[in-house]
């Protein structure tokens, strides 16, 4: 993987949004482009395409801890959620879930499970969650409850490749994930089913993916996903994310030393090693993102923009923060290529602009 520009160039600190394409994934995709056949065809060319798909199943299964045949290829985690929730209603979930999941929970008119001030789900012992994420994309908070009690759909999208995931012990009926969160291509994902779990029949089609998802598979994207998963497992097993966690600590310490009035989100609980979310009350997150973009840094706002209309973060509001905090949070997410120089440069640039904002507001 290669992201951070050399010298004084731009610094990419938005890995939770998407990661750069790994070299291994790029090479696998280029090789797949030369494979002619349709994977559903029984001739030599078709079998060659099918072999790519099956190899990728094995590669992803090794990272997730599942049987390769339980993997259903999709266009991403969002489609995986849509496939899973088809025909289901009144599922229970928490408002911190990703929109791809929360929209289905909300539509089922189910009561929302509350979270505490650190973003940890607080469910009663007998409550089965319709969905539960292992790691929140905005805050990086890891759910301590994940893998301990029954869940319908487990969202491992943000955690996969950064945090060990063992589907076999997850207590989930299914999990969803996306390739582009771990160095694979955008537009490729998977829904992974537990043994004996069946899906509501999909719209009519050719019966691909063992009859679970119709349509010719995206062989090139799947090849990239498999290669990225294999590389991600190698990096995870080597402990490379421990180094990223140290960089996050350096970043947070630097900001604390240079800026006051900052509110840290989820800092007192377990988080992904690469994610920090903090708010500067009174300074809109979108404004911060634009200011840092002009300064050469790519980060994300904790709140979302839709059609030009600013919305406060549903996740931060669910945690208990008021509107001034929910609208003024940003997320900084690091990658394996991030350097100490990158995070220190960001901390210095951000703190300088925060001080200017405070001076103007005084």
- State the catalytic residues: 305
What is the β-pairing status of strands 263-265 and 309-311? unpaired
Burial bucket for residue 347 (CB in 10 Å: 0-12, 13-18, 19+):
buried
Cα–Cα separations (whole angstroms), residue 53 to 26, 226, 289 = 16, 8, 39
* SS3 at position 103: helix
**345 is written with which tokens?**
């440069």
| CB 83 within 8 Å of CB 198 | no
The alpha-helical segments, DSSP class H, found in 86-124 are 99-107
Cα–Cα distance for residue pair 303/300, rounded to 1 Å: 9
Which residues, listed in sequence order, are joined to residue 163 by a DSSP beta bridge? 160
Nearest CA-CA partner of 316 in 344, 273, 269, 277: 277
Q: What is the DSSP letter of 141?
A: B
Cα–Cα distance for residue pair 263/355, rounded to 1 Å: 15
The alpha-helical segments, DSSP class H, found in the chain are 23-33, 44-64, 77-85, 99-107, 208-211, 219-237, 240-258, 285-294, 314-319, 323-326, 340-361
| CB 161 within 8 Å of CB 183 | yes
Q: Half-sphere exposure of 74 toward its Cβ, with a 13 Å CA cutoff? A: 23
Cα–Cα distance for residue pair 31/25, rounded to 1 Å: 10
| CB 336 within 8 Å of CB 240 | yes
Q: What is the DSSP letter of 169?
A: G
């Amino acid at each position: 993987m290669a992201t951070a520009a050399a010298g004084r160039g731009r610094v990419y600190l938005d890995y939770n949004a998407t990661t750069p394409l790994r070299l291994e994934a790029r090479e696998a995709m280029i090789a797949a482009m030369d494979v002619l056949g349709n994977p559903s065809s029984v001739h030599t060319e078709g079998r060659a395409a099918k072999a790519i798909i099956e190899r990728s199943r094995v590669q992803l299964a090794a990272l997730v801890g599942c049987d390769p045949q339980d993997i259903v290829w999709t266009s991403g985690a969002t489609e995986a959620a849509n496939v899973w929730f088809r025909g289901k209603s009144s599922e229970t979930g928490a408002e911190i879930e990703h929109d791809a999941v929360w929209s289905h929970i909300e539509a089922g008119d189910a009561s929302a499970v509350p979270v505490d001030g650190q973003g940890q789900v607080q469910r009663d012992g007998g409550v089965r969650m319709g969905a539960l994420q292992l790691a929140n994309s905005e805050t990086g908070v890891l759910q301590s409850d994940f893998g301990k009690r029954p869940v319908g759909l487990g969202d491992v999208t943000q955690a996969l490749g950064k945090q060990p995931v063992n589907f076999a012990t997850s207590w989930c009926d299914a999990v969803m994930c996306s390739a582009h969160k771990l160095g694979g291509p955008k537009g490729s994902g998977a829904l992974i089913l537990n043994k004996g779990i069946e899906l509501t029949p999909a719209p009519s089609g050719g019966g691909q993916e063992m009859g679970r998802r119709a349509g010719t598979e995206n062989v090139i994207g799947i090849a990239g996903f498999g290669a990225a998963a294999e590389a991600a497992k190698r990096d995870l097993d080597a402990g490379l994310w421990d180094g990223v966690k140290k960089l996050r600590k350096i970043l947070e310490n630097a900001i604390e030393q240079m800026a006051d009035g900052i509110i840290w989100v989820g800092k007192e609980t377990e988080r992904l090693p690469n994610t920090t979310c903090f708010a500067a009350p009174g300074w809109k997150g979108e404004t911060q993102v634009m200011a840092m973009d002009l300064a050469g840094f790519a980060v994300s706002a904790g709140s979302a923009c839709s059609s030009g209309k600013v919305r406060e973060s549903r996740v931060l509001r669910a945690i208990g923060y008021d509107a001034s905090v929910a609208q003024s949070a940003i997320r900084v997410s690091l990658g394996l290529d991030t350097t100490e120089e990158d995070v220190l440069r960001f901390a210095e640039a951000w703190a300088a602009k925060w001080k200017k904002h405070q001076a103007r507001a005084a």
